[in-house]
Amino acid sequence: MLRPSKAGLAISCPPSLRPTEVNHEHGSEAAVFGSACHRLQAILVDPKDELALTDINEAVSVVGVEHLIDDALYIVDQTKRAWEWVQQTFPQDRTKEPLSDFEREKFWDTAIPEVHLENELYSGTADVVARDNHRTVVLDWKNGRRWYDAEAQLLSYLDMLRDRYGKARSGEYIAMTVWTRLGRVTDKTYTDADIDNHRHRIKEAIRRSQLPPNELPYSPGDNCTFCPHNLNCPGLNAMARGAVSKLGTADVTALSTEEFVALRPQVKALEAVIKQYKSTEKALVSKLGELPVRDGVVLRAVERNTRSIIPGPAWEVIQLHITPDEFAPCVKINKGDLLDAVAARAPRGKKQAAKDDFMNELRDAGAVRVSTSARIEEVVLD
């Protein structure tokens, strides 16, 4: 059965559904850390859990990420802030007629973390599920550093939830994604037709994944980074080989514009192979300790300590030694965090206005610098 997290990959490249013996993520530090963070997040959502919320340090050690404690505590902190926001604003914002306090409380009382779900297509664990008489909501914690399109994963959870609990009376199914590191919450409302359509696309992907090897519709690209086949995939390897041979023989600056742009998918495939190589290298070294490279040379994880200054206690000391003008060039302010701190003091419904007013005040004080940079992106034309 398909894991919901692989649904998007299955739709974009059906052969990714074919069985593989290699599981790169299994046992890697990133995977262990990811699972531990999800455990902590489940504890935060359900204070009745066996671990006391008040002692999150203990919880961190129990779930086994002591050596990454700073990072884990950061995720915990961001989760707490997001969860407060989600609980306060979500039910109210998403109903045409406001729910009574009783209904609102009841709605969130039913928020259950780590719900294992299964139907004929999928099997997986939803991070948080909430239901009332009208709607079904699923929430997914994302703790990675980069945003990606997780819509197919969320629709797959909704498909399983609909099978388990029946159709929502209002016909509304809500999928929320909380990007803890990016400080972003996205939510989208779906209908039964959206879920049916998604189910149809998944079934079609499954059908196409079972075609004979010479007819498999490989579609290499960015999606290969998350694919369990990416170390041994005929589609990706063919494309990467094409890129190597073309880049190895051609002077890219001498190519016509059309030839140059036509190379882009192959170069992206090559990038995906290199990226996967690097992360597998890291996982292998972390598991085996050392890897021999050649006579007298090994690959080894070399630890380096980085000292960072903790702003709160540092501030008292800094003021004794340098002036604010001398201090200013040493500081970088995270705009998103600062605006969130301002919004946290504002009442519900006024948070965005508080942020806007604060930004305007900063602008009037000459404290906002606008800089422009450009990155090359593929843009879909209207």
- Chain residues in the site for ligand SF4 (CB under 6 A): 13, 15-16, 218-220, 223-224, 227, 229-230, 233, 235-236
What is the C-alpha to C-alpha distance for residues 131 and 29, in angstroms, rounded to an integer? Answer: 34
CA pair distance 330, 366, nearest whole angstrom: 18
In the complex with ligand SF4, the residue whose CB is nearer, 10 or 283, is 10
Work out how close the CB of 190 gets to ligand SF4 at its nearest, in angstroms, rounded to a whole number: 25
Rounded to a whole number of angstroms, the minimum distance from the CB of residue 6 to ligand SF4 is 10
Kindly state the smallest distance separating residue 245's Cβ from ligand SF4, in Å: 18
What is the C-alpha to C-alpha distance for residues 45 and 80, in angstroms, rounded to an integer?
9
CB of 168 to ligand SF4, least distance (A): 33
Nearer residue to ligand SF4 within complex by CB, 4 or 220: 220
3-state SS class at 186: strand
Helix or strand run (H / E) with residue 343 = helix 335-344
**Cα(19)–Cα(41) distance, integer angstroms:** 31
As a whole number of angstroms, the longest Cα–Cα distance in the chain is 74
* Cβ proximity to ligand SF4, 141 vs 218, nearer residue: 218
- CB neighbours of residue 145 within 10 Å: 8
Question: Helix axis angle, 351-364 relative to 335-344, nearest 10°?
Answer: 130
**In the bound complex, what is the minimum distance in angstroms from residue 7's beta carbon to ligand SF4?**
13
**Cβ nearer to ligand SF4, comparing 177 with 223:** 223
User: CA-to-CA distance for 126 and 119, rounded, in angstroms?
Assistant: 13
> What is the nearest approach in angstroms of ligand SF4 to the Cβ of residue 287?
22
Residues pairing with 297 in the sheet: 294
Helix-helix angle 234-249:264-288, to 10 degrees: 110
Closer by beta carbon to ligand SF4, 170 or else 280: 280
Specify the residue, 25 or 163, whose C-beta has the smaller distance to ligand SF4. 25
